[in-house]
């Protein structure tokens, strides 16, 4: 008989808590880092001030989920029969517990999702009341926020709850919400772009398979969805979406508020919206070329024109990574295997050759290599999802898995209200003056 997921998590939490308590009590004053003026003004790059055990991002190697690289994660998680990709449910089990699930463990998560998956009608009513040209991310985040009235955490907090129990209703909210996201996402898509022809959920299917079914797209789109949700799930805690979710939850806002806010952060063009921007940029190039494939020299010119007009090349660069993103590589492998002759994939492959040398020549970007967003739209486009405004919703469903797992652990380990300290420009100038005086004396 497989263990109940919440019971298993409870054991893990109880075993982990003394480690955090000991670090705080005995080593609380130990220094981890120093902060420079550049870090203070320049977006806090590389300041080590967040804790998560769910994933770790190495600048050279890329992401590891609970210690596993992407290829290792895909290899070890139980696969959906007849498909190449693992169950998304298994990935969530791994993120949450740190253990690789058995097929039975995956079934336990699938059953949890199944019994919580029904979306209340009022959510769809709110979506329908929004103007049709509302961005899909606005609709998606609104639907999540609407569901806040269901929050078990908010209800139990109002009843009076011991701090040590906070993780339990966060767990309930997380499973309740995650179970509904595929249906909400597919509903937004079909309502907006497929003449409002909604396809009902099929509870017999797994998370990714049911999403593909509700999108109305045949195989292998089920595997595409599983791959997509797994790759986008977590990228440690400092990225805008994860950090926003963590920050909002640190005020003891419940999981619905936090995930809705995390989606708002994801909707920025320097973050998750870059996947729509990549396709928009490529379509612009195709239009200018009259659908003729450009030569490398012509593509180089398009890239330079974009840079000279003061815009970024979407899908390239990263705040932490300094090599090609392994999430890009995993999707590229999928394309090479399944859609090698797709015309947009030809463009994306050409960009892989052309953009990095141009960015290096320009000399600004610290990382000239492609990130996850450079490769993801082409797969969606190939399988018929040509409405690229929708792509960030897919990223959002995936990211919610990782952020939810983090939020449960945040509450379990009692992570504090987040509240860094601001300085004024005059204070920075004073620090700079003193540092300058020291340097001058040294000379």
Q: Binding ligand CMX by CB under 6 A: which of 78, 90, 185, 317?
A: 317
Q: Which is nearer to ligand CMX, 112 or 325 (CB)?
A: 325
Beta carbon of residue 274, minimum distance to ligand CMX (angstroms, whole number)? 4
String marking each residue 368-397 x if it binds ligand CMX according to CB under 6 A:
---xxx------------------------
The Cα–Cα gap between 58 and 64 comes to 8
Of 264, 318, 325, 410, the catalytic one is 318
Cis amide bond preceding 182, omega within 30: no
* Minimum CB distance to ligand CMX, residue 229 (Å): 15
Residue 216, burial from CB neighbour count under 10 angstroms (0-12, 13-18, 19+): middle
Q: Is 373 a catalytic residue?
A: yes
Kindly state the smallest distance separating residue 301's Cβ from ligand CMX, in Å: 16
Inter-CA distances, 437 with 35, 268, 305, 428, 433, Å: 19, 41, 43, 14, 6
| Residue 300 within binding range of ligand CMX, rule CB under 6 A | no
Looking at the Cβ atoms of 62 and 272, the one nearer to ligand CMX is 272
Which range touches ligand CMX (CB under 6 A), out of 175-183, 187-195, 270-278, 288-296? 270-278
Shorter beta-carbon distance to ligand CMX: residue 225 or 371: 371
Does residue 37 belong to the site contacting ligand CMX (CB under 6 A)?
no
Q: Which is nearer to ligand CMX, 256 or 395 (CB)?
A: 395
Report the site for ligand CMX in 106-135 (rule: CB under 6 A): none
Among this protein's residues, is 135 annotated catalytic?
A: no
Question: What's the closest the beta carbon of residue 70 comes to ligand CMX, in angstroms?
Answer: 15
- Is the CB of residue 397 less than 8 Å from the CB of residue 177? no
| 318 contacts ligand CMX (rule: CB under 6 A) | yes
Please pick, among 176, 223, 325, 373, the residue that the annotation labels catalytic.
373
Query: Which C-beta is closer to ligand CMX: that of 74 or that of 319?
Result: 319
For the bound state, the minimum distance from the C-beta of residue 15 to ligand CMX, rounded and expressed in Å, comes to 33
Residues present in the chain in total: 443
- Which residue's C-beta sits nearest to ligand CMX? 317
Q: Which of 115, 364, 386, 434 binds ligand CMX (CB under 6 A)?
A: 364
Q: Cα–chain-centroid distance for residue 93? A: 17
Interface with ligand CMX, residue 62, by CB under 6 A: no
Is there binding between residue 361 and ligand CMX (CB under 6 A)? no
If the CB atoms of residues 201 and 367 are measured against ligand CMX, the closer one turns out to be 367
Contact pick of 93, 140, 167, 316 for ligand CMX (by CB under 6 A): 316
Residue 244 Cβ, how far from ligand CMX at the closest point, in Å?
12
Q: Which of 233, 331, 367, 404 binds ligand CMX (CB under 6 A)?
A: 367
Residue 315 touching ligand CMX (CB under 6 A): yes
CA distances for 26 relative to 30, 119, 197, 363, 443, angstroms? 9, 47, 60, 45, 41
| Site membership for ligand CMX, residue 217 (CB under 6 A) | no
Judge whether 163 and 414 are in contact, CB under 8 Å.
yes
Contact mark string toward ligand CMX, 222..241, x via CB under 6 A: -----------------x--
Catalytic residue list contains 318: yes
- Residue 151 binds ligand CMX (CB under 6 A): no
- Minimum CB distance to ligand CMX smaller for 151 or for 241: 241
- Least Å from the CB of residue 10 to ligand CMX: 33
Please count the residues of this chain forming the interface with ligand CMX, following the rule CB under 6 A: 21
**Binding-site member from 44, 47, 312, 329 for ligand CMX (CB under 6 A):** 312
Instruction: Report, as residue numbers or ranges, the catalytic residues.
Output: 271, 318, 373
- Give the interface with ligand CMX as residue ranges (CB under 6 A): 239, 270-272, 274, 307, 312-319, 364-367, 371-373
């Amino acid at each position: 008989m497989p263990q109940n997921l919440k019971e298993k998590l409870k054991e893990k939490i109880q075993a982990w808590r003394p480690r955090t308590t000991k670090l705080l009590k005995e080593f609380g004053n130990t220094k981890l880092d120093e902060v420079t003026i550049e870090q203070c003004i320049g977006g806090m790059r590389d300041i080590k001030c967040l804790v998560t055990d769910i994933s770790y991002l190495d600048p050279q190697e890329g992401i590891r989920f609970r210690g596993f690289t992407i290829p290792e994660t895909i290899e070890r998680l139980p696969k959906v029969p007849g498909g190449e990709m693992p169950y998304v449910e298994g990935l969530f089990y791994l993120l949450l517990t740190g253990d690789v699930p058995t097929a039975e463990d995956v079934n336990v998560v699938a059953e949890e999702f199944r019994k919580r998956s029904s979306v209340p009608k009022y959510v769809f009513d709110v979506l329908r009341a929004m103007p049709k040209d509302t961005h899909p991310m606005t609709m998606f985040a609104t639907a999540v926020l609407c569901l806040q009235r269901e929050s078990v955490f908010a209800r139990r907090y109002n009843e009076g709850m011991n701090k040590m129990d906070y993780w339990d209703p966060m767990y309930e909210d997380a499973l309740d919400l995650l179970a509904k996201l595929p249906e909400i996402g597919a509903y937004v898509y079909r309502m907006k772009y497929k003449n409002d022809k909604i396809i009902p959920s099929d509870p017999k299917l797994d998370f990714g398979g049911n999403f593909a079914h509700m999108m109305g797209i045949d195989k292998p789109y089920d595997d595409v969805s599983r791959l997509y949700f797994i790759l986008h799930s977590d990228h440690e805690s400092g990225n805008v979406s994860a950090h926003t979710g963590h920050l909002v939850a640190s005020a003891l806002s419940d999981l619905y508020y936090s995930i809705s806010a995390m989606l708002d952060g994801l909707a920025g063009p320097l973050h998750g919206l870059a996947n729509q921007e990549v396709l928009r940029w490529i379509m612009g190039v195709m239009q200018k070329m009259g659908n003729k494939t450009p030569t490398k020299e012509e593509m180089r010119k398009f890239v330079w024109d974009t840079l000279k007009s003061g815009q970024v090349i979407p899908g390239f660069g990263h705040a932490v990574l300094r090599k090609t993103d392994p999430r890009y590589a995993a999707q590229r492998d999928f394309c090479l295997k399944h859609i090698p002759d797709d015309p947009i994939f030809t463009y994306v492959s050409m960009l892989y050759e052309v953009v990095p040398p141009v960015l290096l020549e320009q000399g600004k970007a610290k990382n000239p290599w492609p990130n996850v967003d450079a490769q993801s739209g082409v797969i969606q486009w190939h399988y018929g999802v040509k409405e690229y405004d929708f792509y960030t919703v897919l990223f959002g469903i995936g990211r919610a898995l990782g952020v939810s797992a983090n939020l449960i652990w945040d509450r379990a380990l009692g992570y504090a209200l987040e509240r860094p300290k601001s300085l004024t420009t005059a204070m920075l100038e004073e620090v700079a003056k003193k540092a300058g005086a020291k340097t001058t004396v040294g000379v």
